[in-house]
Amino acid sequence: MRRKSLKHYSKRVARKQYNIVLILLVLLSVVSLYLGLDLAARKVKASQEFFSPLGDAKVIEVEQIKEVPVKVETLNTNILDMVEYIHKKESTNGKNTNPQALHNLCKAQGKSNEYGYGGMRLKMCFDSEKAAKAWVTLWLAEKLELFNGNVGMTLCYYNLGEKITNCDYAQGYK
């Protein structure tokens, strides 16, 4: 009879231990989920902001862009003209004094973006004007190829993000 009670006692202890371990696992899961969300929120707060078309402010992380080597001699002069056109349209060649303008927001951080690349939604800033120009030049070269040399569509896509052949932004280009 004594053996039976020890066996029964051992099973009860094992069952209690199992329940305790199960409860601890559930608690650990809840705590790790909470901490995981908290860490994600901290990471997001350190990121850059953009405003959605729906009006709710959201936060995304944008990797900073370093210098991009470009061999300007090998590019089509059409692309270089487009880069200068965009420079003029986006920041009046860097002379626009509106403090809310993207190039002035970047300048306040010691960075540059006089080309409006990424727009006010992403608020991307480059380490230098040269890096910004190189990035925009590469982007234009890639999109011009994608759109079979259609300058109007490339400029509209740059400004609006839409694949249309004609828009106000492209109208002023020669």
3-class secondary structure for 29-65? HHHHHHHHHHHHHHHHHCCEEEECCCCCEEEECCCCE
The domain containing residue 152 runs over which residues?
Answer: 72-171
Q: Does the residue 25 lie in any domain?
A: yes
88 in the same domain as 34: no
Q: What pLDDT is recorded for position 16?
A: 73
Q: In the numeric block, which tokens belong to residue 93?
A: 């060649």
> Which residue numbers in the chain have pLDDT < 50?
37-62, 68-74
Residues 159 and 77 in one domain: yes
CA-to-CA separations, 57 to 20, 50, 71, 152, in angstroms, rounded: 43, 6, 39, 32
Instruction: Round to whole Å and give the CA distance between 102 and 99.
Output: 8
CB-CB contact of 91 with 103 (8 Å): yes
Q: In this structure, is residue 155 part of a structural domain?
A: yes
Cα–Cα distance measured from residue 69 to residue 92, given in angstroms and rounded to the nearest whole number: 25
- Residue 104 confidence (pLDDT): 92
Q: Does 33 fall in a domain?
A: yes
pTM for this model (two decimals): 0.57
In a domain, 62, yes or no: no
pLDDT digits (tens, 9 = 90+) for 48-96: 343 333 334 344 444 555 554 444 444 565 899 999 999 999 999 888 8
40 and 85 both lie in a single domain: no
64 located within any domain: no
Q: Is residue 17 part of a domain?
A: yes
Does residue 154 form part of some domain? yes
Distance CA 88, CA 96 (A): 10
Q: Of 143, 173, 149, nearest to 161 (Cα)?
A: 143
Q: What tokens does 142 get?
A: 């890639």
| Same domain, residue pair 23 and 77 | no
Q: What is the pLDDT at residue 26?
A: 66
Separation between Cα atoms, residue 34 and residue 143, nearest integer Å: 43
Number of domains in the chain: 2
- Domain assignment of residue 58, yes or no: no
Q: What's the confidence (pLDDT) of residue 157?
A: 93
